Structure 1
Amino acid sequence: MELDPPVDARALKSRSAILAAFTRLAFEKRLEAIRIADIVAEAGVGRATFYDHYQGKEAVMLAALEPMLVALGSVASGRAALSYIEGMTAHCWERRVLFRALLDSSAARAIQRQLGEIIRARLAAMGLEGSASALQATGLAAAQLAMLRSWVGGEAQCTPEDMAARLIECARMLPDTRP
Structure 2
Amino acid sequence: MTAKKEDRRVQRTRGMLFEALMDLIVEKGYDAITIQDIIDRANIGRSTFYSHFLDKEQLLLENVDQLREFLKEQRVIPSSQGEPGEYRFGFSLAMIQHVQSHKLIFRAVAGKQSGVLVIYHIKRMLTEIAREEIAAFLPSSTPPIIPQEVATEFVVNTFWSIVTWWMEQSRPYSAKEIDQMFHKLALSGISALEN
TM-score by length of 2: 0.62
> Secondary structure at the residue paired with 1:33?
coil
Q: Once the 2 structures are TM-superposed, how far is the Cα of residue 69 of structure 1 from its aligned partner?
A: 8.6
Task: Report the Cα distance in structure 1 between the residues aligned to 2:129 and 2:70, rounded to whole angstroms.
Answer: 7
**Correspondence 1:57 to 2:56:** yes
Structure-1 separation of matches of 2:139 and 2:46: 41
- Change beyond 3 A, Cα 1:134–1:59: farther
Aligned residues: 169
> Alpha carbons of 1:8 and 1:135: their partners in 2 closer, same or farther (altered >3 Å)?
farther
Q: How far apart, in 2, do the equivalents of 1:156 and 1:133 lie? A: 34
Q: 2:180 maps to what in 1?
A: 165
Relative to 1, partners in 2 of residues 1:91 and 1:126: Cα closer, same or farther, differing over 3 Å?
Answer: closer
Please state how far the C-alpha of 1:37 moved relative to its aligned partner.
1.7
Letter in 2 for 1:33: A
Deviation at 1:14, TM superposition (A): 2.0
Using the TM superposition, give the Cα deviation of residue 148 of structure 1 relative to its aligned residue in structure 2, in angstroms: 0.9
Larger RCO (CA under 8 A, 6+ residues apart): 1
Distance (Å, rounded) in 1 between the aligned partners of 2:99 and 2:172: 14
Equivalent in the alignment of 1:113:
124
1:41 matched to which residue of 2?
Answer: 40
Q: Percent identity?
A: 23
SS of residue paired to 2:116: coil
Contact 2:131 2:149 (8 Å CA) reproduced: yes
Deviation at 1:91, TM superposition (A): 4.8
Matched, 1:144 2:159: yes
Q: Which residue of 2 aligns with 1:29?
A: 28
Gaps of 5+ in 2: 79-86, 141-145
**Match of residue 133, structure 1, among 148, 154, 158:** 148
In the TM superposition, residue 34 of structure 1 has moved relative to its aligned partner by 1.8
- For 2:59 and 2:124, the matched residues in 1 are separated by 15
**RMSD of Structure 2 on Structure 1 (CA):** 4.1
Larger radius of gyration: 2
Which structure 1 segments of 5+ residues have no match? none
Q: Which residue of 2 aligns with 1:14?
A: 13
AA matched with 1:151: W
Residue 101 of structure 1: how far off its partner (Å): 2.3
Contact 2:77–2:136 (Cα < 8 Å) also in 1? no
| Matching residue's letter, 2:157 | A
Q: 1:9 to 1:132 in 2, by over 3 A?
A: farther
Give TM-score, length-normalised by structure 1: 0.66
